Chain A
Amino acid sequence: GENVEQHPSTLSVQEGDSAVIKCTYSDSASNYFPWYKQELGKGPQLIIDIRSNVGEKKDQRIAVTLNKTAKHFSLHITETQPEDSAVYFCAASTGGFKTIFGAGTRLFVKA
């Protein structure tokens, strides 16, 4: 069946460094790729998303890139801060009600 693989499962960076999380998806019909951030004890919250007609999107320190040919998409966080520490989920959706989530990446930003 369709799946989304997310790597790495854990990522530790020094404050100020960049962090990159990568996902691959299997369903070529996927056309919407959201990224969610989940802080301890809270529900996931959308931080950025990208649609299939766009290759890159940026919002301040966060950027997402999409390679539809390779079925890869990545989250880039620059100038990381301790408050960026959380679990990040990628997801791929074909529209309708089918959204497949990755297993999550736990990001630690060391001060």
Chain B
Amino acid sequence: DAGITQSPRHKVTETGTPVTLRCHQTENHRYMYWYRQDPGHGLRLIHYSYGVKDTDKGEVSDGYSVSRSKTEDFLLTLESATSSQTSVYFCAISESHGVMNTEAFFGQGTRLTVV
């Protein structure tokens, strides 16, 4: 398995509180991603990073921010959690990008419940 660790694995938080999820990789891959998984929607990209301090928005980025201060760490922050952000969050990494995509490796997920 690719060396990807997500923390925490489970979290329950109250509406309006900030929450930070962490993704740590030991593969030295340049590209990192945050997805959310909801029934009937598959996986949807929240934010991605193509290098240290280089990040950009995905298709469902509203209410989320990210930071990448080191190659190995990619943080996802819910600035003020809402019930619609209850989901399972996956971090993914990939080695390269370009015209032809390559395999992405996924972490084991973080189940977040906002009450």
A103 CB within 8 Å of chain B:
yes
Interface residues of A in 87-111 (CB under 8 A from B): 89, 91, 93, 95-97, 99, 101-104
Separation of A4 and B77 alpha carbons in the complex (Å): 28
Q: Pick the residue among A6, A31, A101 that contacts B99 (CB under 8 A).
A: A31
- B41 close to A96 (CB less than 8 A): no
Q: Interface on chain A toward B: helix, strand, loop, or mixed SS?
A: strand
Contacting residues, chain B, for A41 (C-beta < 8 A): 108-109
- A102 close to B42 (CB less than 8 A): yes
Separation of A96 and B97 alpha carbons in the complex (Å): 6
Q: How large is the interface on B (under 10, 10 to 19, 20 to 34, 35 or more residues)?
A: 20 to 34
| Residues of B near any A CB (own CB < 8 A) | 4, 31, 33, 40-45, 48, 50, 56, 58, 90, 92, 97-101, 103-109
Q: List 7 A-B contacts (CB under 8 A).
A: A31-B99, A42-B108, A44-B106, A46-B105, A51-B100, A101-B43, A103-B40
Give the residue name and chain of the A residue nearest to B42 (CB): A101
Q: How large is the interface on A (under 10, 10 to 19, 20 to 34, 35 or more residues)?
A: 20 to 34
Known: A95-B97, A96-B97. A89 touches B103 (CB 8 A): no
Q: Pick the residue among A43, A91, A95 that contacts B90 (CB under 8 A).
A: A43
Q: Pick the residue among A34, A46, A97 that contacts B45 (CB under 8 A).
A: A97
User: Smallest CB–CB gap between A93 and chain B, Å?
Assistant: 4
Between B4, B42, B97, B109, the greatest number of chain A beta carbons within 10 A of the residue's beta carbon is seen for: B42
Contacting residues, chain B, for A99 (C-beta < 8 A): 45, 101, 104
